A and B are shown apart, each in its own frame.
Chain A
Amino acid sequence: MADTFRRTRDVVAGTLPPPAWMLAGLALAILFPYIAGTGSLLDASIQTLAYIIMALGLNIVVGFAGLLDLGYVAFYAIGAFVIGWFGSQQFPDINGGKGIHILASDRSTFQLKLNGTKAEIPGIHVNFFIVIFIAMAITAVWGILLGGPTLRLRGDYLAIVTLAFGEIVPRIFENSTSGLFGIGRTDFSNGRQGITPIDTINLPWSKSAVYTDFNLRPAYWVALAMVVFTVFVNRRLRDSRLGRAWIAVREDEVAAAAMGVNLVRTKLWAYAIGAAFGGFAGAFLGSYNNTVNVDQFEFGFSVFVLAMIIIGGMGNIWGVIVGAVALSMLNRYGLPELNQLNIGFDPTSVSYGVFGFFLLIMMVLRPEGFLPSGRRRLELHEAEIEGGDAAVVGDMSQMYEVRQ
């Protein structure tokens, strides 16, 4: 019985669901807004879709290539600021105060003056669908720039350096009120207040904005399309030559290098692509939330995304999606519901504490996650399989592999 269960789970987790199931799932996802209505649930679903993209991006770095990244929020920040700069009135003096408009809809191009005439809105306004790819390109470059210096480091040293980057990047944005890095005069960030409002998602052929505050459905479908794109790219990457190189590096760096894997190139690609998806989702969230400010980019968010991929099952695309949906819905509905129980404090205020608790429990009881990839489960239960010798002695030299 247990054996049958395990085999079924292996089929679900190790391989992909049959195409028919995937199509059915996709159809359900497309029709979902008609079931969910247009209120809070749809809003939560849109946020969740964005988190799925982030989790899948982080999964490339952590799950595929085995490089622990604790500063993923930096790429969210960069992506969000890219749309902040390319889709708002942040730079009012540009082009002599008339602004730059590229394929932007009427709504973000013109404003009605009091006397009824139309005037061009200042600032840079580039169409959302261009900006998300600009954001991907810029964050990919930053992924390489931040990943480059860390190539020699391993394990927890790498984690700390990425964490430091994740703390520095928001500080730079926060303090760039007079010139980037405090050099120059242009205001890049509005300080703690952040950039707002940001252009909404718009289609170049539509005269008005597609997404409005009263109609979330188009935003949902855009996010869903972005998720489908991300999943597609992730699947193709995982099965590619590069994807196999990532897994080889994760399993044993030295052996991989000996077998001809170019470590530098392999790792930099992981950083670049992982970061690009962070920026991709970041740009979407910046537009969807209509604001970009440094309070969104705290360390807790990096851990939130990390918790998604760990709880779901690191390295497994479907597991990561399950983890992202579970955690973001818990964040949105589970914790506020607890408030009804009158436990004496507001559970939403300690949401990160709850995620921390999940991380702890998960690591101690089921380190492979809910839907582990077959290989990873094997790896984590190696000691039991090999016949508990190592487990009994507590071989620390093996557990804490020699650093450097």
Chain B
Amino acid sequence: MEAASITETASAGPPARKLGDVINAYALPALLIAALVAQFVYDQTGTLNDIKTGLSNGTIWALIALGYTLVYGIVELINFAHGEVFMIGSFVSVSLWATFGVDERTGIPLMILSIIVVLAIAMLASGTLNVLIERVAYRPLRNAPRLAPLITAIGMSFILQNVGLLWRPTPDSAPDLIGSQKDYFTIFHVGIEHSDVFAVVVTVPLLVALLWFIGATRYGKAMRATAQDPDAARLMGIDVDRTIQLTFLLGGLMAGAAGLIYALYNGTIRFNQGFTAGLIAFTAAVMGGIGNLKGAVIGGLIIGVIQAVSDSGEYLGLPLGPQWTPAVVFGVLIMVMVFRPQGLFGEETREG
């Protein structure tokens, strides 16, 4: 998959390697791996279980992170409202199932059909919403200082969160269509549940399709060109506005899919799920090197594992637990920002 990073510059030659650079490049991943290995030595089954939970959960973060990274790559804006687009995807899915009376008693063929249809509708709804947000909140501010679109993004996020609040004020349960708690099979004493398989089976084709679209089609080429230099792209006959719209559409589609998977995976939906999920996914995007698609996916998986380890209640005997998980994730975000703002795979990104 050539040029998965959409901000990659063609002219970037091989960077000169010095010892400091090497330490800088590998310190963070090495630290993360060492932390995980230490925990594995301490508690093998628990750690394997955490890795499993983290990877399947991480695929959802990866889907959302792709939306952040795509948009940041092309307009260098943190689309704050992206988490809320994901939340709307969840709400649309659950509302559709409730409207058509699909629940765990429905027959299997109809159930699978309903999941596919609802997935398509949720993706379209979120994609359209994301395009609308771009039109209303970001396009009028193309020439303003960059603080301005960030603030409208926050405003948009609050508006959508409150739309969610009016739509479903209390946490709602999603129908357990996939029998999420049931074990499929067990390896190394780790039960692989239906929900894990479901998350991976739905997510991976979407990720591959997106990477293919951006890497191989002419629309993807236009996006990469716009990300590098919008003015030059315009001179080459690329419709920059259309390309930006397409970027937002793709990000929204992924967020909508993530919304559906999240609803089925977790079983509950809540109007403020988007805020936390958005920040987690953004952390993933930053960790992978924002603007880098593969980086976002890997960042999502890493954050998933970190979360699972923190959720499980202890790390090397230190008391942790779900109440500390947000602090742990945001702590990781700060560490990445401070020590390696270009992210794990950020060497390819454009230098300022």
- Residue of A156, A364, A390, A398 near B78 (CB, 8 A) is A156
1/0 per residue, CB under 8 A from B, across A146-186: the answer is: 00011011011101110111011001101100000010000
What is the minimal beta-carbon distance from A384 to any residue of chain B, in angstroms?
9
What is the minimal beta-carbon distance from A157 to any residue of chain B, in angstroms?
6
B150 and A159 contacting across the interface, CB-CB below 8 Å: yes
In Å, the complex CA distance between A164 and B142 comes to 27
Assuming the contacts A400-B77, A401-B146, asked whether A357 and B337 have C-beta atoms less than 8 A apart, the reply is: no
What is the minimal beta-carbon distance from A359 to any residue of chain B, in angstroms?
3
* Binding stretch for chain A, among B47-55, B124-132, B162-170, B200-208: B162-170
In Å, the complex CA distance between A396 and B149 comes to 12
Q: Does A379 contact B (CB under 8 A)?
A: yes
Which A residues are in CB contact (< 8 Å) with B78?
Answer: 156, 159-160
B141 and A403 contacting across the interface, CB-CB below 8 Å: no
In Å, the complex CA distance between A226 and B194 comes to 59
Q: Does B140 contact A (CB under 8 A)?
A: yes
Number of A-B contacts (CB under 8 A): 164
Which A residues are in CB contact (< 8 Å) with B157?
Answer: 356
Which B residues are in CB contact (< 8 Å) with A156?
Answer: 77-78, 146, 150
Main secondary structure of the interface of B (DSSP, over half): helix
A396 and B341 contacting across the interface, CB-CB below 8 Å: no
B327 and A353 contacting across the interface, CB-CB below 8 Å: no
Interface residues on A, range: 35 or more
B155 and A363 contacting across the interface, CB-CB below 8 Å: yes
A175 and B137 contacting across the interface, CB-CB below 8 Å: no
In Å, the complex CA distance between A170 and B223 comes to 40
1/0 per residue, CB under 8 A from B, across A374-404: the answer is: 0000011001000000110111111111111
Which A residues are in CB contact (< 8 Å) with B330?
Answer: 164-165, 167-168
1/0 per residue, CB under 8 A from B, across A344-379: the answer is: 010001101111111110011001000000000001
- Residue of A165, A345, A402 near B334 (CB, 8 A) is A165
Q: Does B12 contact A (CB under 8 A)?
A: no
Kindly report which residue of chain A lies nearest to residue B337, judged by CB atoms. A161
In Å, the complex CA distance between A400 and B334 comes to 23
Assuming the contacts A164-B334, A182-B319, A310-B151, asked whether A399 and B142 have C-beta atoms less than 8 A apart, the reply is: yes
- Chain A 293-351 residues near chain B, CB threshold 8 A: 299-300, 303, 306, 310, 345, 349-350
1/0 per residue, CB under 8 A from A, across B58-79: the answer is: 0000000000000000011110
Which B residues are in CB contact (< 8 Å) with A306?
Answer: 151, 154
In Å, the complex CA distance between A242 and B317 comes to 48
Q: Does A68 contact B (CB under 8 A)?
A: yes
In Å, the complex CA distance between A397 and B143 comes to 10
B162 and A352 contacting across the interface, CB-CB below 8 Å: yes
A152 and B147 contacting across the interface, CB-CB below 8 Å: no
In Å, the complex CA distance between A379 and B282 comes to 30
Assuming the contacts A153-B341, A164-B334, asked whether A402 and B143 have C-beta atoms less than 8 A apart, the reply is: no
In Å, the complex CA distance between A394 and B141 comes to 10
B240 and A394 contacting across the interface, CB-CB below 8 Å: yes
In Å, the complex CA distance between A182 and B314 comes to 12
B323 and A171 contacting across the interface, CB-CB below 8 Å: yes
Kindly report which residue of chain B lies nearest to residue A350, judged by CB atoms. B162
What is the minimal beta-carbon distance from B296 to any residue of chain A, in angstroms?
15
What is the minimal beta-carbon distance from B345 to any residue of chain A, in angstroms?
16
1/0 per residue, CB under 8 A from A, across B239-257: the answer is: 0100000000000000000
Residue among A380, A396, A397 facing the most chain B CB atoms (10 A cut-off): A396
Which A residues are in CB contact (< 8 Å) with B136?
Answer: 360
A353 and B159 contacting across the interface, CB-CB below 8 Å: yes
B279 and A360 contacting across the interface, CB-CB below 8 Å: no
In Å, the complex CA distance between A182 and B169 comes to 33
Kindly report which residue of chain A lies nearest to residue B229, judged by CB atoms. A397
A352 and B158 contacting across the interface, CB-CB below 8 Å: yes
A352 and B326 contacting across the interface, CB-CB below 8 Å: no
B331 and A168 contacting across the interface, CB-CB below 8 Å: yes
Q: Does B88 contact A (CB under 8 A)?
A: no
Which B residues are in CB contact (< 8 Å) with A404?
Answer: 341-342, 351-352
Assuming the contacts A152-B338, A167-B330, A345-B166, asked whether A355 and B323 have C-beta atoms less than 8 A apart, the reply is: no
B158 and A396 contacting across the interface, CB-CB below 8 Å: no
Which B residues are in CB contact (< 8 Å) with A175?
Answer: 323-324, 327
B341 and A353 contacting across the interface, CB-CB below 8 Å: no
- Residue of A155, A172, A352, A394 near B146 (CB, 8 A) is A155
Extra inter-chain contacts (6) besides given A164-B330, A394-B240, CB under 8 Å: A149-B338, A156-B77, A171-B327, A357-B158, A359-B158, A391-B143
Binding site for A on B (CB under 8 A): 75-78, 136-137, 140-152, 154-159, 161-163, 165-166, 169, 229-231, 234, 240, 275, 279, 282, 286, 319, 323-324, 326-327, 330-331, 333-334, 337-338, 341-342, 351-352
Q: Could you show 20 A-B contacts with beta carbons less than 8 Å apart? A: A152-B341, A155-B147, A155-B150, A156-B150, A161-B334, A163-B279, A164-B331, A182-B319, A303-B154, A306-B154, A353-B165, A355-B158, A364-B152, A367-B148, A379-B145, A380-B145, A396-B240, A401-B146, A403-B352, A404-B352
Binding site for B on A (CB under 8 A): 68, 70, 149-150, 152-153, 155-157, 159-161, 163-165, 167-168, 171-172, 174-175, 182, 299-300, 303, 306, 310, 345, 349-350, 352-360, 363-364, 367, 379-380, 383, 390-391, 393-404
